[in-house]
Every structure is written in C-alpha cells, then in structure tokens.
Amino acid sequence: MTMKSDITSTNEAYTATTVVSSMVQDGEKKDQDRARWFEPGQVACIGDGVSSSPNSAKAAEIITQFVPSLFCGNLTDRLEMLCDVLIAQRRQCQLDNEINLPEGTSESMRQMLLKVVQSKKAVSFQSTMIAAQFTAAERTVFARVIKCGDSAFFAFSPDGNLLTSSLSVGSLRRPAEDSRYLSGNDKAILFGPGREILVRVDGPLSEYKGLAEQSGIRPEHEHNWIVCSAIDSCQNNETESQNLLEVQPIALQRDHRLLIPRYLYGQGLTSEGQQYRILSYSSAVKRLFGPKEPIINSVCGGVGSTTLVLPDHFYTGAYESYRDSFPRHTHFLLCSDGFYGAFSNWSELCQWLKENAAALDRKGVREVILKQLHERLNARKGDDDISFIWVRPRDVYLGGKEVNYVSKCGRKLAGEQE
C-alpha cells in the first residue's frame, strides 16, 4: 500500500503577490533569490542564495520547491532531510575537479587554483530561508514560521499597523527563568507560545495617556488596544511539551501590565463586577513593565556581517521556528534583505506597499517601480536581488456581509476613494 502526504488545504483563505527582481550590474544578473507561494497548502517561502557560495541559486530553488512538504509532518525531521539534500548536492559538486585554465599554466599554479576552487565548493549550495504556513479560522489566522538567515517575516493590519516582525523575535528568546523584571519571591507567570494566562481588563488604552505615550502607539490607533494586568497562568506548565526551537516564554509578575490588541480577546469571565480574559500568547501583545519598550519600527538594523544559512546552520541549531496568531484580516510579508534593506523603517516600507499595491499586479508598470526600488536600494546600501511575497486575505466579513476583500483593500492601500 502506498501512502501519500496531504499537502493541500481545504481552506484557501489567502492569496498572494509574489515578486522576484534580479540585480543587474554591467549587463549581468545576480539572480540568486527564489520565491514561491503554494496556494493549496497556504505556504510561502523566500530563498536568498548567498553571493559567496557556488550554486546558491540552485540551493534557493531546491528550498522553495521543497517547502510545501516541510509543514506536513515533523518540521525538524523534514528540515533535516532538506538540508541533507543540499549537503548531497554539495558533495556531488566537490567531485568535479575540472577547471578551465589558459594554455601554458604551470602545474603548481593549477594545483593552487584547484585548492581555491575546492575551498569555495566546500561552502556551495548555501541559502537563507524564511517560510510560513497560514491556517485560517473564523476570526483568527495561525502562522507557523521557520527562519534561517536575514530574510524576514512581517504581519500588519490593513491600515499599515505593524503587528510583529521576525527581526524582533530574537529579543523574545530569553530563558524562561529570567527574573530581571520580578521582585521579591513572587512566582513567575510564564507567557510564551502555546501558553495561556488569565488577565484582568483594566480599560481601553485611550484612558491611560501615560501608558499610551510609553508604548509608542499612535493616537489614531489607541482605540485598538486594551490595557490588561497579568493575574495567573492557566495551565500546568510541567505538562507542556518543551521545544527549544520555539520562542521562549517571558516571565511576568502579578499585576504587570500588558497591551492587548482587541482582536486577541479570548474567553470572557466576570467576577464581582470586574472583567477577566483568558489570553492566548501572541507576539502582538506589548509588555509595559520594566524599561520602556517601544513598538519596533526599524526593519533594517542589526544585521551582522555573518549570515546564517541552510544547510550549515541547521546542524548547529542556529535557526528559528515559532507559531503565532493574528486577526483573520491580517496581511503578511515575507521578503529578502534586498527588499526591506531599501527602507529605513517599517513606515517607509508600508508606505511603498500602499502606493504600489495596484501597480504590482500590472505587468510593465511593475518593472518600472521595481527599477526605481533597485535605485533606492543602491543609494542606501548597494543594489541586490529583491524578492517578497505579500500574503493577503481573499475576503472578510464587514458589517455582516462578505465582500471581495482583496479588491477593497487594494483600492484602500492605493489611496482610492470608495
């Protein structure tokens, strides 16, 4: 009997715009980025081949072709198999000792150049990766993200409010026992992926001007946020399966305040006139205890000179895997550093998407705006391949009616009046 993995989805709630634009210099293309939106499985993936690695474009191609099956079983096992395929390709490449040299090249020079070529082949088939799978429910969409390298994942509301960025996930990976924000002998309330906590609803953010200023949330968005206080954990943490690849939980203390997006409201409870909620973890929750922690706006800082890559850094555990939940109408962006590197912060990036939402779907016009984007990137940090996948909902219920959300949102982002 033959068994076949199911890599399709019965709920194709999202569609996507996929863009890959190669850098052209002196008449030659770099062409090392690959992007794929696999709609049946609601999976998006960007592979950015490493410039210094031979056959990196092939590596990016293998990764993007393989990724739909990545989320169909044990993710770690399947990612290991993908990396083993890349290693096998590298070993095959290393068997080829043929090099083209001018006639009359001495044997000693030939051997020296052969060693150089072989040392380059030892790091062949390298690529970064950002991939995500989206599973939509009635009011919520769940995203499972896997990341290695400097490509990025963003989630944002239709009005351009940044909900989360994978570039900030590293700041959440502190050990669960971290007690820098705790006082006395109070027991920590651990809050992380897969966990729930009980919170007290204190009121809308608009009633807490001091907290609103501390949070960095713009006044026009204050009505979307609720101030809550942590009360207690809602589960036995000892029975929770641990995964070292997941974002580690943060340690809260009773009455530490949190900012909760209205869409994350969970099960409601009332006691003695006070409202409580059981809150599931999301990286969109903002912490308001301890030092000021403004909402992240920068999207291009903090990238070091050493890039994490597949397959090599999989074997050292230097990659990230995490889950998050968002409102059903959330938009998502997966992109290479060549795309987000053209902007100094999220506001600029989102403004570019707003201005070019309609043009991205028009052949001919798209090429013009991408040429301008390459010029912008070159002026900032030097040109590069540019790739991104803009994942957006097909439709949404507004005022009790089902509408063509892509069309409606596209007109809104393009600045057209309805």
| Model pLDDT, residue 395 | 64
User: Tens place of pLDDT for every residue, the chain, 418 residues?
Assistant: 334 444 444 478 999 999 999 999 877 889 999 999 999 999 999 999 999 899 999 999 999 999 999 999 899 999 999 999 999 999 998 887 777 767 777 777 767 766 776 778 888 999 999 999 999 988 889 999 999 999 999 998 888 888 888 876 443 333 333 444 444 445 788 887 767 889 999 988 888 888 888 777 778 778 878 899 999 888 654 444 443 334 567 788 888 888 887 766 566 677 777 888 888 777 778 777 543 343 444 455 444 445 799 999 998 888 888 888 888 889 999 999 999 999 988 889 999 999 999 899 888 899 999 999 999 999 998 999 999 999 999 864 322 333 443 344 444 444 444 4
Report the number of distinct structural domains present in the chain. Answer: 2
Is-cis flag, bond preceding 311, omega within 30? yes
Residue at a domain's end among 287, 321, 351: 287
| CATH number where 42 lies | 3.60.40.10
Please state, as a whole number, how many other Cβ atoms lie within 10 Å of the Cβ of residue 139.
11
| Model pLDDT, residue 79 | 95
Residue at 165 is within a domain: no
Residue at a domain's end among 224, 258, 287: 287
Same-domain status, 143 and 196: no
Residues 6+ apart with CB under 8 A from 109: 101
CB 346 within 8 Å of CB 165: yes
CA–CA separation, 154 vs 165, rounded Å? 4
DSSP string for 55-105: THHHHHHHHHHHHHHHTSS-HHHHHHHHHHHHHHHHHHHHT-------TT-
Same-domain status, 282 and 309: no
User: Residue 411: left if φ>0, alpha if ψ -120 to 50, beta else—which one?
Assistant: alpha
The whole domain housing 351 covers: 14-150+303-413
261-308 pLDDT per residue, tens: 776 656 667 777 788 888 877 777 877 754 334 344 445 544 444 579
CB 356 within 8 Å of CB 368: no
| Model pLDDT, residue 171 | 35
Residues 6+ apart with CB under 8 A from 10: none
Output the six-digit token pair for 357: 């939402």
Helix 56-70, helix 75-94: angle, nearest 10: 160
Residue at 18 is within a domain: yes
Same-domain status, 333 and 282: no
Same-domain status, 333 and 405: yes
Same-domain status, 32 and 57: yes
Residues 6+ apart with CB under 8 A from 376: 342
Output the six-digit token pair for 133: 């799978």
Residue at 207 is within a domain: yes
* Confidence (pTM): 0.71
What is the residue whose two structure tokens read 């794929």? 36
| Model pLDDT, residue 267 | 61
CA–CA separation, 302 vs 322, rounded Å? 21
| Model pLDDT, residue 248 | 61
